[in-house]
C-alpha cells in the first residue's frame, strides 16, 4: 500500500512538473517582446517629439520602423524555404549578436521597413496589434526557417528572434534619449 501511494505521489509530482514546464514555455512564447511592445505603445503619445542631437527623425519614425521590422521579419521567416538557407561568416552579425547592440547611425534601413513620409497614429496601433499577433505565433514556425538581412546575411529563426530583441531595444534607447529618460 505504501509503495502504491509513493508511485502515485511520484506520478503527481512528475505530472505537475510537466504541466508547469509547458505553462512556462507557453508564457515565454506569448510574452516574447511583450514588455518592449508595451513600452513602444506608451511612446505613441510622444510621436512628434524630436531631438536632432539624438536622431534626425521623430519618435513616430522609430515606432513605425520598429513595428514594420518586426512584422516583415515574421513574414520573411514564415515564408522562407529552409533548403535555401546559406550559412556564412559575417563579422557585423557576430558583433551585433555578441554585444547585443546595433551601432547608431551606421546603416540605412532597408526600403521595405522605412516609414512613409506621413505616419498616421492609427497605423501605428494597427502595426502594433499585428506585431503582437505575429510574435505570439513566431515560436510555432519551423526551427530551420530564416530571413535574409541586407547587412547581416541569413539569420535562422532563433537568431532572427535575438536580432528582433536587439533591434527593438536599439530603437527604444533612441526614443528614451529623445525624451531624455
Of 10-14, 20-24, 151-155, the range with the lowest mean pLDDT is 20-24
Indicate the average pLDDT of the chain: 90
What nine digits make up the cell of 180? 531624455
pLDDT at 2: 74
pLDDT at 17 over 70: no
Q: Is the pLDDT of residue 153 over 70?
A: yes
Domain ranges of the chain: 1-30, 33-178
The pTM assigned to this predicted structure is: 0.83
Name the percent of the chain lying above pLDDT 70. 84
Q: Does 33-178 carry CATH code 1.20.120?
A: yes
Assign residue 180 a region: left if phi > 0, alpha if psi is -120 to 50, beta otherwise? Answer: left
Over residues 135-149, the mean pLDDT reads 96
Sign for the pseudo-dihedral over CA of 85, 141, 133, 38: negative
DSSP the chain: -HHHHHHHHHHHHHHHHHHHHHHHHHHHHHTTTHHHHHHHHHTGGGTT---TTT-SS-HHHHHHHHHHHHHHHHHHHHH--GGG------HHHHHHHHHT---TTSSPPPGGGPPPSS--HHHHHHHHHHHHHHHHHHTTS-TT-EEEETTTEEEEHHHHHHHHHHHHHHHHHHHHHHTT-
- Residue 29 pLDDT: 47
Q: Give the least confident one: 14-23, 44-53, 93-102.
A: 14-23
Question: pLDDT (tens digit, 9 = 90+) per residue, 71-124?
Answer: 999 999 999 999 999 999 999 999 999 999 999 988 899 999 999 999 999 999
Amino acid at each position: 500500500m505504501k509503495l502504491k501511494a509513493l508511485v502515485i505521489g511520484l506520478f503527481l509530482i512528475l505530472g505537475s512538473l510537466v504541466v508547469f514546464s509547458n505553462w512556462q514555455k507557453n508564457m515565454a512564447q506569448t510574452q516574447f517582446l511583450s514588455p518592449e511592445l508595451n513600452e513602444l505603445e506608451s511612446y505613441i503619445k510622444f510621436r512628434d517629439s524630436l531631438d536632432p542631437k539624438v536622431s534626425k527623425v521623430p519618435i513616430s519614425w522609430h515606432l513605425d520602423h520598429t513595428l514594420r521590422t518586426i512584422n516583415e521579419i515574421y513574414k520573411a521567416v514564415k515564408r522562407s524555404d529552409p533548403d535555401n538557407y546559406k550559412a556564412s561568416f559575417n563579422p557585423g552579425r557576430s558583433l551585433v549578436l555578441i554585444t547585443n547592440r546595433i551601432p547608431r547611425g551606421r546603416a540605412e534601413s532597408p526600403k521595405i521597413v522605412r516609414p512613409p513620409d506621413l505616419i498616421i497614429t492609427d497605423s501605428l496601433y494597427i502595426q502594433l496589434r499585428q506585431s503582437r499577433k505575429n510574435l505570439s505565433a513566431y515560436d510555432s514556425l519551423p526551427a530551420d526557417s530564416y530571413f535574409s538581412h541586407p547587412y547581416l546575411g541569413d539569420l535562422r529563426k532563433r537568431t532572427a528572434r535575438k536580432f528582433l530583441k536587439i533591434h527593438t531595444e536599439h530603437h527604444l534607447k533612441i526614443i528614451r534619449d529623445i525624451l531624455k529618460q
